[in-house]
């Protein structure tokens, strides 16, 4: 009787473990978690200063709209951040990277090296933009329209159809208006 109860308990424990394992694997294979892809934010409620925003919160064209607004206000540092988030959103929408809150710029660069190994111009433009962004955002260097123009040229190269991007990517336009 004790041996029979031990066998039943062992079978139940193994069954629970198998069910837990199946549920865990199913959740992982479902794709990005809700905290990685948070579409509940409206463009107007995005705080470009916040460290909690993720490129997948808005589509690429909304990040570009925010970048234009920041350029018009003379907020070049915030414009570079919006442009960088537009780049990440584009690459995520194109399937060249998977946007996630926990990833660093180095993670994105490595992922792009792996997935876009046949697109050296795209990788070079992205790496240069990572450098421009990091100097502006983390290094607190002053950013002028020249840096925004350089970033924009790289962005256009990243989003060009020949670089694996979409043909109808929204360009920033002339920044010297």
Per the prediction, the chain carries an average pLDDT of 83
Q: Contact, 68 vs 173, CB < 8 A?
A: yes
145 vs 127: CA distance, rounded Å: 19
Model confidence over 148-173: pLDDT tens digits?
A: 999 999 999 999 876 654 444 444 54
27 vs 172: CA distance, rounded Å: 38
Residue 31 reports pLDDT greater than 80: no
Confidence of residue 62 (pLDDT cuts 50, 70, 90): very high
Residue 37 reports pLDDT greater than 60: no
Average pLDDT, integer, range 38-49: 63
**Helical residues (DSSP H) of the chain, grouped into ranges:** 2-29, 60-73, 76-93, 105-115, 120-137, 145-159
Q: Provide the 10 A C-beta neighbour count for residue 132.
A: 20
Closest-CA residue to 172 (of 82, 48, 46): 82
Average pLDDT, integer, range 124-133: 95
Q: Does pTM top 0.85 for this prediction?
A: no
């Amino acid at each position: 009787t004790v041996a029979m109860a031990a066998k039943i308990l062992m079978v139940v424990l193994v069954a629970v473990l198998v069910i837990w394992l199946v549920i865990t694997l199913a959740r992982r294979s479902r794709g990005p978690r809700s905290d990685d892809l948070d579409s509940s934010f409206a463009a107007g409620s995005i705080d470009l200063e916040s460290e909690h925003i993720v490129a997948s919160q808005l589509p690429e064209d909304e990040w570009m709209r925010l970048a234009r607004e920041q350029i018009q206000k003379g907020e070049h540092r915030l414009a570079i951040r919006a442009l960088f988030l537009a780049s990440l959103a584009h690459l995520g929408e194109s399937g060249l990277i998977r946007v996630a809150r926990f990833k660093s710029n180095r993670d994105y660069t490595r992922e792009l090296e792996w997935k876009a190994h046949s697109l050296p111009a795209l990788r070079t433009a992205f790496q240069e933009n990572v450098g421009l962004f990091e100097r502006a955002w983390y290094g607190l260097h002053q950013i002028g329209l020249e840096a925004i123009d350089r970033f924009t040229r790289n962005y256009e190269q990243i989003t060009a159809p020949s670089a694996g991007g979409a043909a109808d990517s929204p360009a920033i336009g002339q920044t010297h208006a």
